[in-house]
């Protein structure tokens, strides 16, 4: 959302909230300007501030671009901590204040880490795009050359058996499908065949940083097989097959190639540089947080395996096991 005078609207609502705070804290002084009893004035200020704060929160959140929406989660997490901290002071409970400060600071640090990973300005994101022009239009009408080529599990298994260097890039779709155990088994089977299998993790893949690391650890994937984006990005030129499971924005070449894309400038995993790319998706046309189509789907070296990630991975695991 980019309303006219967006920054002025936010500043105006913040001023109203500040005035309501002053009215609540100093009702006797405020009552000299408004013919109301102090207690009535305090109650009225609470109601006004609650309503204006709700509108402010809605506007700030709606003004954050689609690709930055994961940051909203960490911001709201941080805000909940500060609210708890304030409650601790109000009730005179040091434990509440300390826990709230811990949640508030950890959420703020996590927000900063995510903004750094996504190449975004943290103040701009937190303040709902303050000081920036209207966001560039999303290339929903962009026509890509070529067409997406679909494949089946037999084709995927054949490519995996022929490959020596394999990278698996999990995304939020893997977490939703709960396919981590099947994927971990696939990696172990391939590794037992003498193939070099690695996992590439984007800093903000999934809902929160570290989510996919936890899922892979839950599935007993060895730590030495898991690599961060900075560690593996330069290796894709020598990768035979890259399997992208439920990731979209974090592997989109538009972030580097298309200045008119809403995620332009965000660091991504350069999976399209692999010799072969297998992208697992539920259906063609579905997009990530940014709401943009991923151009790698239309590249000559990419094939799309449609279906539920869990079912696809279980089938691939079974067929690989039969070849051992």
* Residues with active-site annotation: 172, 207, 289
Strands (E), 61-191: 165-170
Q: For residues 266 and 255, is the Cβ–Cβ distance under 8 A?
A: yes
Query: What are the φ and ψ backbone dihedral angles of 256, each rounded to 5 degrees?
Result: -110, -25
DSSP state of 136: P
What is each CA distance from 281 to 26, 159, 198, 203, in whole angstroms? 58, 18, 20, 21
Determine the distance from the C-alpha atom of residue 141 to the mean position of all C-alpha atoms in its chain, rounded to a whole number. Answer: 24
Neighbours of 50 (CB within 10 A): 11
Q: Environment class of residue 65 by beta-carbon count within 10 Å: exposed (0-12), middle (13-18) or buried (19+)?
A: buried
């Amino acid at each position: 959302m980019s309303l006219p005078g967006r920054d002025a609207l936010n500043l105006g609502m913040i001023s109203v909230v500040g005035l309501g705070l002053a009215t609540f804290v100093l009702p006797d002084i405020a009552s000299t300007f408004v013919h109301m009893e102090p207690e009535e004035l305090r109650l009225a200020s609470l109601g006004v501030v609650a309503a204006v704060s709700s509108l402010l929160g809605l506007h700030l959140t709606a003004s954050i671009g689609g690709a930055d929406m994961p940051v909203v989660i960490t911001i709201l997490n941080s805000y909940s901590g500060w609210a708890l901290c304030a409650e601790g002071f109000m009730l005179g409970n040091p434990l509440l204040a300390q826990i709230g400060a811990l949640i508030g600071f950890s959420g703020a640090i996590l927000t900063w880490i995510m903004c750094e990973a996504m190449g975004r300005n943290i103040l701009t994101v937190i303040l709902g795009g303050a000081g920036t022009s209207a966001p560039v239009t999303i290339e929903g009408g962009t026509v890509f050359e070529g067409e997406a080529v679909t494949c089946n599990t037999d084709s995927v298994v054949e490519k995996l058996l022929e490959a020596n260097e394999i990278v698996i890039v999990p995304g939020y779709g893997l977490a939703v499908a709960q396919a981590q155990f099947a994927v971990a088994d696939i990696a172990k089977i391939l590794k037992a065949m003498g193939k070099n299998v690695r996992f590439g993790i984007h800093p903000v893949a999934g809902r929160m940083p570290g989510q996919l690391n936890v899922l892979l650890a839950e599935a007993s994937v060895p730590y030495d097989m898991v690599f961060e984006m900075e560690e593996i990005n330069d290796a894709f030129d020598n990768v035979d097959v890259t399997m992208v499971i439920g990731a979209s924005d974090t592997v989109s070449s538009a972030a580097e190639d298309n200045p008119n894309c809403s995620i332009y400038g965000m660091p991504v995993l350069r999976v399209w540089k692999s010799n072969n790319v297998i992208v697992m998706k539920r259906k063609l046309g579905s997009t990530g947080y940014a709401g943009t189509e991923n151009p790698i789907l239309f590249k000559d070296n990419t094939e799309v395996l449609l279906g539920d990630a869990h079912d696809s991975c279980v089938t691939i695991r079974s067929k690989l096991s039969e070849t051992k």
